[in-house]
Amino acid sequence: MPQSKHTQRMERRASARTDANLSMRMMGARAETALPEFVTETENVSSSGVYCFSPHYLAPLSKVGLTLVLPDRRSDEITDRMLKCEAVVVRCQQNPATTAARRYEVACSFLDLDDDHRQLIDEFVTLRNLKALRAPSAATRRRTRTKAVRAARTGVRKAVRARTAVAKKKVAKKKAVRAVARGRAAASRGGRTRASGRSRAR
């Protein structure tokens, strides 16, 4: 028996969800085989249902068969679990801005998900959401990058100013050396001129 809209809304509110691109196969349910089988991926997932993409329009309240590939982290090694169940289409809306394979955005509510699979999805959602909370937000990453860029620019400016100051000191030193050399040359020429004058006087 299809769930009422009120029940579906309450279940979606009670179940945490997470953004996840998981591989999924969708096909027509046993009573509705007109839908061709195709592979897609989820946009987000919860223990009550999935939000995914479809190249075909799926009428609301139609039943579909789902095979969801979900990472299983219960053991030390990460393995994939195949979750097979039936679902009912809650919403299907067209998105013209996407490719043909993602032409429709579809919300599906699970119908016969067993407790073990439901728990597995809950654990996956909880883990993903915890990682998302621990990870820095996009705004924080932008601020960090901005600070790093500013610090780098400040360092470059300081290095340029230091090199400019050193270059100015070298130029000033060369000018001083040249001035001293010109002074000595002038003094030497003056001495020779005076000596030549005394020689003529004699």
Q: DSSP 3-state assignment of 139?
A: helix
Q: Are residues 155 and 88 in the same domain?
A: no
Q: d(Cα 179, Cα 155) in Å, to the nearest integer?
A: 36
Q: Which two tokens stand for residue 194?
A: 């005076």
197 within some domain: no
Q: Are residues 130 and 150 in the same domain?
A: no
AA identity, residue 180: V
Domain that holds residue 14: 5-135
Closest CA to 26 of 9, 13, 39: 39
Q: Report the half-sphere exposure of 82 (CA within 13 A, side-chain side).
A: 5
Facing residues of 67 across strands? Answer: 25, 84
195 within some domain: no
Q: Are residues 95 and 171 in the same domain?
A: no
Per the structure, how many domains does the chain have?
Answer: 2
| 103-138: pLDDT as tens digits | 899 999 999 888 888 888 998 898 888 887 877 666
| 74-110: pLDDT as tens digits | 655 667 888 899 999 999 999 877 787 788 999 999 9
Q: Is the pTM of this model over 0.75?
A: no
